[in-house]
């Protein structure tokens, strides 16, 4: 990477870190970004990276194998046939959105001796473009979702529907926070480039930032 791009990336990372309260961690969403940009952020102290495609992530993890271990989070739509690969490559999954997938992850985690941290993706507003447990389904399935050891239920994840305004995002994130509190889940994966301040105001513990950190994606 040329020096200017690297300096701009470092400046954006530092500015974001300074704006986040101590309780909110920055997940650097590196999908569509080359491994060298991950390396540049790792050199600054960023450890947690989010990827949404298994093959792309595997290639980057191999390219970065010389670094001290990074903390990889899977944030994409998770297909059943990728479950084992994702469990082997990622310590945290943000996008668990249905019970059959949960049971499959549980079985494979037992087989592989893994204890991944998982977020339940929830859909609290209608959104045809997004997956997630709706409130009623989540409440109904909650007894089964609580019994998924060795999966470690970390919290809830949500994505605001496209075009929601700032007040709407705030209200959505606040209701997600209230739901997590009711369920006794400590973590909240909420907030992307366009709405992370609203998510932080509602108590997000993980903001998932791509373009505001890296600039526009190349792929």
**Which residues contact ligand PLP by CB under 6 A?**
29, 31, 52, 75, 159, 192-194, 208-212
Least Å distance, CB 31 to ligand PLP, is: 6
Least Å distance, CB 213 to ligand PLP, is: 7
Residue number with CB closer to ligand PLP (170 or 206): 206
Q: Is the Cβ–Cβ distance between 22 and 199 less than 8 Å?
A: no
Residue number with CB closer to ligand PLP (32 or 85): 32
Which of 104, 134, 136, 130 minimizes the C-alpha distance to 118? 104
Least Å distance, CB 116 to ligand PLP, is: 17
Length of the chain: 219
For residues 78 and 190, what is the distance between their CA atoms, to the nearest angstrom?
18
Residue at token pair 């909420």: 190
Residue number with CB closer to ligand PLP (93 or 192): 192
Residue number with CB closer to ligand PLP (49 or 170): 49
Least Å distance, CB 66 to ligand PLP, is: 26
Least Å distance, CB 209 to ligand PLP, is: 5
Element of type H or E holding 129: none
Residue number with CB closer to ligand PLP (61 or 158): 158
Which of 194, 197, 188, 192 minimizes the C-alpha distance to 208? 192
Residue number with CB closer to ligand PLP (11 or 147): 11
The count of C-alpha atoms lying within 13 angstroms of the C-alpha of 10, restricted to the half-sphere facing its C-beta, is: 14
Least Å distance, CB 143 to ligand PLP, is: 27
Using CB positions, name the residue nearest to ligand PLP.
Answer: 210
For residues 144 and 123, what is the distance between their CA atoms, to the nearest angstrom?
19
Q: Is 71 buried (19+), middle (13-18) or exposed (0-12) by CB count in 10 A?
A: middle
């Amino acid at each position: 990477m040329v020096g200017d791009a690297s300096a701009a990336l470092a400046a954006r990372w530092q500015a974001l870190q300074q704006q986040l309260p101590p309780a909110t961690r920055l997940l650097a969403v590196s999908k569509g970004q080359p491994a060298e940009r991950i390396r540049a952020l790792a050199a600054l102290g960023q450890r947690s990276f989010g990827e949404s495609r298994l093959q792309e992530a595997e290639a980057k993890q191999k390219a970065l194998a010389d670094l001290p271990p990074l903390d990889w989070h899977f944030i994409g739509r998770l297909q059943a046939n990728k479950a084992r690969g994702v469990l082997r490559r990622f310590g945290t999954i943000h996008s668990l959105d249905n019970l059959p997938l949960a049971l499959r992850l549980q079985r494979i985690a037992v087989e592989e001796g893994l204890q991944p941290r998982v977020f339940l993706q929830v859909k609290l507003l209608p959104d045809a473009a997004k997956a997630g447990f709706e409130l009623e389904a989540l409440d109904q399935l909650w007894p089964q979702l609580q019994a998924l050891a060795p999966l470690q239920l970390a919290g809830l994840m949500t994505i605001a529907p496209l075009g929601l305004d700032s007040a709407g995002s705030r209200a959505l994130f606040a209701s997600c926070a209230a739901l997590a509190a009711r369920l006794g889940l400590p973590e909240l994966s909420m907030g992307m480039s366009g709405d992370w301040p609203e998510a932080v105001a509602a108590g997000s513990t993980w903001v998932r930032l791509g373009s505001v950190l890296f600039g526009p994606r190349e792929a």
